Chain A
């Protein structure tokens, strides 16, 4: 389900095998088979699959945060710091005010959305490149977060977490039984991420707001002339990115078991990997939520598999980079091939 600004029903359909999503699924199946043969522990539910699902959930949401601005052809380099700042706000709300899970989460999401909106506002008012604005914001927030944590806590993390975060961290649906029927071994964070993906998908597919954001990304001038308030749409897309980044920060805090200053440090690369592998272009105007889900799954499967094969840190990075380049090149080759076939008749 690729969402472009053009009306559904593209004039020239690419053949099925040229669908990048299908390629990702095939690659995913091959990799899972490969890792399972080498290390049967890869299919162990408790040791591998359950933590893997938690990781995928976090990085899916991180990818969605980047996707929200890629729809405009913009970038959000501060995605990790927005998550960290929001996580700080959540921790502070709980630690100092004694607020519960829902209130803390809401405050955090609000902070994330405001940060995103601020970035969007600067971009849309000044016309400065989004790369520069969010890079500067990243610089600024990096400093701010350490200062905030140093002043509000005695170290790098809040000592307490709202009630319920522990359940999000350790519990799976198998721990909740209705009589004899227990749920599958799926962590509680998975549905949160899936709902987020679904909402973002619906937004870009069906809502007026989402379509207008895509229009703006596709051709800002045409959008402006069609009566779309493009500046407002830019602010809204960036606010959405900040909001989703805050959710990613919350999920990672739940997985790690603490609101810490290190949240978001590792977000930047995966945030681009998931949407780009999934076929979202950097130029804007088209997004693929399903592709982002697959892209996030693929990257985390590779990480987990190489981890199980006991690769060292350096080799892990080396192979991730190589797999990434190979996947992107294959995708590109398939696309070119498909276009040639399509253009021939």
Chain B
């Protein structure tokens, strides 16, 4: 479901198949069925299916982590590095400091939250564009991540945590269920809570939000803090599922973190999120991954295909939008697609990331 500050849910029956998520859901199901047939049912065997969902957990959570900051029109380039840093820190706590796993898990979450809040405070206090701030903190966090244990690998930490990473409930991996719980919580946060609605309002129109008595600064800090917390969750899932961590964890997460929300139809300009879309998009990207593994394709083709899928999904969304807005009498769809701020004219002014223009304007 697409969530904006003004419309809660697309409710009418007519608009369900018009929702951008509809295309994604059809694509995801079609892709899954096609892959299941192409692999001769191998995909549906218990082991393969379990692995499929186990390694879907982190992409979903990291996509949500990026989506939360996109909601206020910001970006967080440090999500990948932060995930790696939190993972290394929790492994360090368990192995070197000898703390029990639950404390290490909580510490990883707290660390993610703290770094995220620091990002948000930096953005608010310095009024520097969030893209640049998180670019700088990404570099710093990469240094810290490497500093925990140098190039060496941590393994053999808490047996309980690793058992949790391998565990399955009703055929679904426990880590995937955790990711689903996170999905529901994030969805409820944006749909039902005042704080979540305020984030969307700030992202949609900072000026209108301020006139309504919403503190945009607070929204920015909360969004970045939440993004950091979700990166911490991704770190815990990584530590549990992979069984060993080193300083390269998170390097390959930055681009997927953008791919999932963007394919899922989240606008970079802020004010609009789609939890379902993000999850479906992460599912699609995972399908491409599995296809590569099943057919032994050069892994490099995956990047090529994902790039094409990102672009294709965005173009398809724009095309759908135009199609609907051309029909006479049909209601104008909510601005639910990236680049659709001005659907009929390709004005480059809409093509700037973040609310940087607003930031400039808001400067004292």
Contacts and interface: CB of A to CB of B under 8 A. Distances in A.
A joins B in a complex: yes
B129 A282 contact: yes
B146 A127 contact: no
B331 to A, nearest CB: 21
A314 interface: yes
B307 A143 contact: yes
B79 to A, nearest CB: 14
A167 interface: no
B352 A74 contact: yes
Contacts of A325: 122, 126, 133, 136-137, 140
29 contacts: A124-B346, A127-B318, A127-B339, A127-B342, A127-B350, A129-B269, A129-B352, A133-B314, A136-B308, A136-B314, A139-B307, A142-B300, A146-B298, A147-B300, A147-B301, A217-B348, A220-B347, A269-B135, A282-B352, A282-B354, A314-B145, A315-B147, A317-B142, A317-B143, A328-B128, A328-B133, A328-B136, A332-B126, A336-B364
A95 interface: no
Contacts of A320: 139
B307 A138 contact: yes
Nearest to A284: B352
Contacts of A142: 300, 303-304, 307
A220 B303 contact: no
Contacts of A123: 346, 348, 351
A124 to B, nearest CB: 6
A130 B350 CA distance: 9
A221 interface: yes
Contacts of B345: 127
Interface of B: 122, 126-129, 131-133, 135-147, 150, 255, 258-259, 262, 268-269, 298, 300-308, 310-311, 314-315, 318, 338-340, 342-343, 345-354, 356-357, 360, 363-364
Given A74-B348, A131-B268, A283-B360, A272 B132 contact: yes
Pairs of residues from A and B, 4 with the lowest C-beta to C-beta distance, nearest first: A139-B307, A140-B307, A143-B304, A318-B143
Would you call the interface of chain B mostly helix, strand, loop, or mixed? helix
Nearest to B269: A129
A57 interface: no
B135 A140 contact: no
Interface residues of A, number: 64
B346 A129 contact: no
Given A317-B146, A318-B144, A325-B133, 14 more contacts: A127-B350, A129-B339, A136-B308, A139-B307, A147-B298, A150-B298, A272-B135, A283-B357, A314-B143, A321-B136, A321-B138, A322-B140, A328-B133, A329-B128
A321 B301 contact: no
Contacts of B140: 317-318, 321-322, 325
Contact of B137 (A128, A319, A321): A321
Contacts of A313: 143, 146
Contacts of B141: 321
A150 B298 CA distance: 11
B98 to A, nearest CB: 24
Contacts of A133: 311, 314
A132 B144 contact: no
Nearest to A272: B135
A281 B129 CA distance: 9
Contacts of A141: 307
A73 interface: yes
Given A317-B143, A321-B143, A131 B353 contact: yes
A316 interface: yes
Interface string A306-338: 000000011111111110110011001001100
Would you call the interface of chain A mostly helix, strand, loop, or mixed? helix
The interface centre, meaning the residue of B298, B304, B356 with most chain A CB atoms within 10 A of its CB, is B304
A222 B302 CA distance: 42
A89 B347 CA distance: 33
Contacts of B364: 336, 339-340
Nearest to B144: A318
B319 to A, nearest CB: 9
Contact of A128 (B259, B302, B351, B360): B351
B349 A219 contact: yes
B352 A314 contact: no
Contacts of B343: 127
B353 A129 contact: yes
B282 to A, nearest CB: 15
Contacts of B122: 325
A87 to B, nearest CB: 17
Nearest to A218: B349
B300 A130 contact: no
B68 to A, nearest CB: 17
Contact of B302 (A73, A143, A281, A322): A143
B348 A276 contact: no
A230 B348 CA distance: 8
A82 interface: no
B255 A138 contact: yes
Contact of A143 (B127, B139, B303): B303
Contact of A221 (B314, B339, B347): B347
A74 B301 contact: no
A72 interface: yes
A140 B303 contact: yes
B315 A128 contact: yes
B311 A122 contact: yes
Given A126-B339, A317-B140, A276 B132 contact: yes
Contact of B304 (A74, A144, A283, A317): A144
